[in-house]
Structure 1
Amino acid sequence: LFIFLFASGEKYAPDRSSTAGGKHNSLRKLKPILGGLAALAVLIIIVAIALMVRAKNARRKSYSNDENIEAAVMLRRYSYENVKKMTNSFAHVIGKGGFGTVYKGKLLDASGRDIALKILNESKGNGEDFINELASMSRASHVNIVSLFGFCYEGSKRAIIYEFMPNGSLDKFISENMSTKMDWKTLYNIAVGVARGLEYLHNSCVPKIVHFDIKPQNILMDGDLCPKISDFGLAKLCNNKESIISLLDARGTIGYIAPEVFSKNFGGASHKSDVYSYGMVVLDMIGAKNKKRDETSRSNKSSMNFPDWIYKDLERKETIRLVGDDHITEEEEEEEEKIVKKMTLVGLWCIQTNPSDRPPMRKVVEMLEGSLEALQVPPKPLFDLPLVTAWDIIKDSQETSTLSTQSLLERKTLPTDQDTVIVSKEMV
């Protein structure tokens, strides 16, 4: 065709109108395709960014847990099948709590040593309570801290294996010896031992640990009545320079929780929160020893707010009434009175409402081991006010709590199986 046109003298000219029309139609067809591809690209970018942010947050959230679990890698890890063998298929229950059930068992090695094995309740998420307890106990090594032997971690099946305490918990030990003559020297030694254990956690352990759930049920007694702090499910690991601890929720057991753990109006949560709980334990030891006596006393001390009646006795210099043993010599009576008064004063100093007024545990040990004459009667804490008024102070400053029907500042002995409470800050 080209040759023919060239030969005929006519120039070849393509049909430009038809070509332009074809291009226009092609572009019109491509526009929706290009638009769809662009939208898809934007969507992919958005999803990719969202996944990256989520992964970053997840890594940040689990960083501390990963760091904590690394502390336990040197511990022996047992399979769940071995756990069943150790406990004879969970035949012997020795305790129950808010975090799990404790069974008695034996190690499978040649020693056949008695052990306590706690099976934790199935928890949501990454098992923060399990990691907390495992990491805290694996870091602590002290005569007044329960020794950890190993753990089991198979999905939702989680267990902690530690030394068996033949004399059980402090509250059980006191209640079983309530009707018999209690050696106040033994109670004093228990108080000193717990104080030394807490002092170690607060100052010598690396990193430092705040327990946040000190109570008689979490103090175990070995065969020689040496007290050992246990149950670190609510514990917080602290940096050396960290004094105030940020808590997302209030934690502890009613009757032993420091006021600042529930309300920031009383200050920030810190190692002084453990000091408060320790003080209530010491006063509980004294109150438990004289529970029967108080209920039948003519002075009707049982109807008074605890520990208000203790202040009344101190004011009247009637500390000897705390002893309550009628068949002892005058010399023994004098020695026991000094011990009881020292424990009383130390306990009252520890439960001061303002955290800054409470002594650190190092000072508490010094007070217990020092002379009675060096101790002064501390000012009355908020307990001197009516209990309802004290709770109203908290409610007036914040939203009412689901626990508002029971004063957080009321002192009462809880049942052995009383669950530890964790309350969201949004609720209080």
Structure 2
Amino acid sequence: MTYSFRDKLGQGGYSVVYKASLPDGRQVAVKVINESKGNGEEFINEVASISRTSHVNIVSLLGFCYENKRALIYEFMSKGSLDKFILNRGFSDATICSLDWNTMYQIAIGIARGLEYLHQGCVSRILHLDIKPQNILLDENFCPKISDFGLAKICQRNDSVVSILGTRGTIGYIAPEVFSRTYGGVSHKSDVYSYGMLILEMIGGRKNYDTGDSCTSEMYFPDWIYKDLEQGNNLENCLANSDEENDTVRQITMVSLWCIQTNPYNRPSMSKVLEMLQGPLQSVSYPPKPFLHSPEGPSFQTSYVSSSTL
């Protein structure tokens, strides 16, 4: 199917993805798990999680193999991952975003719908716990689909807090409570935090945890966004072209800042996020400035663990 693994699409912490073709000519993506990493737990976890889903904003699992090689067969997403379109590799403020604001807004809505489905629409609630641009795939129409369920947690729909061992996620997107229970319990609100950081990256066009020479704290990024919001400034690298687009940017920014509140109870559910995004700008209340650090704890940046090193 992969023509001897000829066409490599991408590589993650524990897998490599290849372009392949089914006998009927349909293109697919084959994710081959690295046998030397882990005991197959992430593979089984991904199959168990995603096989419970069926949604336009969740990537479709078409099949899997466990003998000889551990591999998963997914629908092929022609545009690749979201990070290729929103992240400025050089971290230069002069870079222009490659997506127009309407497309970015529709992507933000699509991701929110996918997460709402995982949290409320499945028989079991699924916490993804690794939402980031690299795990959002785009089809030919830029419809976003959530992928990579290797770190997902399946729980009962009425479970407000779940128990997990260790830290799950990727640097820059992990909610405070995931790495330190002093901030609260891990729940669907942890995905809300990751979603907020992802959307702020879409707005700013740069990684949230690498902001240049003056400050190394990953929380400097939303602080910078918040200051622009307070002052009514346009972000220099993503200028809106009309008052309507300016209102859209402001609305998305305010919702995102609500999503990254330090206290999980202050974050909206994904259902509420959709309501805020799709309603009038006037209906979104002004968000409090997120706290940068715990008064009694270490800074966030020293506590992160990437998914590739779990």
Instruction: Report the alpha carbon displacement of residue 181 of structure 1 after superposing the two structures with TM.
Output: 5.7
Question: Any stretches of 5+ residues in structure 2 without a counterpart?
Answer: 90-94
Q: Is the 8 A contact 2:88 2:207 kept in 1?
A: no
Q: TM-score, normalised by structure 1?
A: 0.65
Could you list the per-position Cα deviations for residues 371-427 of structure 1 after superposition, in whole angstroms to 9, with x for gaps in the alignment? 1001122111122xxxxxx3784349xxxxxxx8x4458xxxxxxxx952555xxxx
Distance 1:359 1:273 in 2: 11
Instruction: Report the alpha carbon displacement of residue 277 of structure 1 after superposing the two structures with TM.
Output: 0.1
1:275 aligns with 2:187: no
Q: 1:163 aligns with which of 72, 75, 81?
A: 75
Distance 1:320 1:233 in 2: 34
Q: Is the 8 A contact 1:283 1:347 kept in 2?
A: yes
Question: Which runs of structure 2 are paired with 1:4-403 in the superposition (5 Å)?
Answer: 86-108=1-23, 110=24, 112-122=25-35, 127-154=40-67, 157-175=69-87, 179=96, 182-288=99-205, 305-319=220-234, 323-324=238-239, 328=241, 333-383=242-292, 390=293, 393-395=296-298
Secondary structure of 1:101's match?
A: strand
Q: TM-score, normalised by structure 2?
A: 0.89
Between the two proteins, the alignment pairs up a number of residues equal to 301
Secondary structure of 1:119's match?
A: strand
Distance 1:166 1:374 in 2: 36
For 2:307, the equivalent position in structure 1 comes to 420
Taking only the aligned residue pairs, the percentage that are identical comes to 57
Q: Is the 8 A contact 1:117 1:162 kept in 2?
A: yes
Q: Is the 8 A contact 1:195 1:364 kept in 2?
A: yes
Kindly provide the amino acid, as one letter, of the partner of residue 78 in structure 2: P
Distance 2:124 2:230 in 1: 42
Instruction: Report the alpha carbon displacement of residue 123 of structure 1 after superposing the two structures with TM.
Output: 5.6
Instruction: Report the alpha carbon displacement of residue 208 of structure 1 after superposing the two structures with TM.
Output: 1.2
For 1:64, the equivalent position in structure 2 comes to none
Distance 2:200 2:221 in 1: 9
Q: Is the 8 A contact 2:130 2:168 kept in 1?
A: yes
Kindly provide the amino acid, as one letter, of the partner of residue 420 in structure 1: S
Instruction: Report the alpha carbon displacement of residue 125 of structure 1 after superposing the two structures with TM.
Output: 7.1
Kindly provide the amino acid, as one letter, of the partner of residue 380 in structure 1: K
Distance 1:162 1:129 in 2: 16
- Structure 2 vs 1, CA of residues 290 and 322 (structure 1 numbering), >3 Å: closer, same or farther? farther
Kindly provide the amino acid, as one letter, of the partner of residue 134 in structure 1: V
Secondary structure of 1:198's match?
A: helix
- Structure 2 vs 1, CA of residues 122 and 375 (structure 1 numbering), >3 Å: closer, same or farther? same
Instruction: Report the alpha carbon displacement of residue 240 of structure 1 after superposing the two structures with TM.
Output: 2.2
Greater relative contact order structure (CA < 8 Å, 6+ sep): 2
Could you list the per-position Cα deviations for residues 171-201 of structure 1 after superposition, in whole angstroms to 9, with x for gaps in the alignment? 0122489546631010000000000000000
Q: Is the 8 A contact 1:253 1:419 kept in 2?
A: yes
Question: Any stretches of 5+ residues in structure 1 without a counterpart?
Answer: 1-85, 384-389, 397-403, 410-417, 424-428
Could you list the per-position Cα deviations for residues 203-241 of structure 1 after superposition, in whole angstroms to 9, with x for gaps in the alignment? 011111000000000000000000000000000111122
Distance 2:294 2:158 in 1: 33
Q: Is the 8 A contact 2:86 2:201 kept in 1?
A: no
- Structure 2 vs 1, CA of residues 209 and 245 (structure 1 numbering), >3 Å: closer, same or farther? same
Greater fraction of residues in helix: 1
Kindly provide the amino acid, as one letter, of the partner of residue 286 in structure 2: V
- Structure 2 vs 1, CA of residues 126 and 310 (structure 1 numbering), >3 Å: closer, same or farther? closer
Distance 1:302 1:339 in 2: 29
Distance 2:255 2:156 in 1: 28
Kindly provide the amino acid, as one letter, of the partner of residue 318 in structure 1: N
Kindly provide the amino acid, as one letter, of the partner of residue 264 in structure 2: P
Distance 2:96 2:229 in 1: 25
Could you list the per-position Cα deviations for residues 342-375 of structure 1 after superposition, in whole angstroms to 9, with x for gaps in the alignment? 1100100000000000000000011110110011
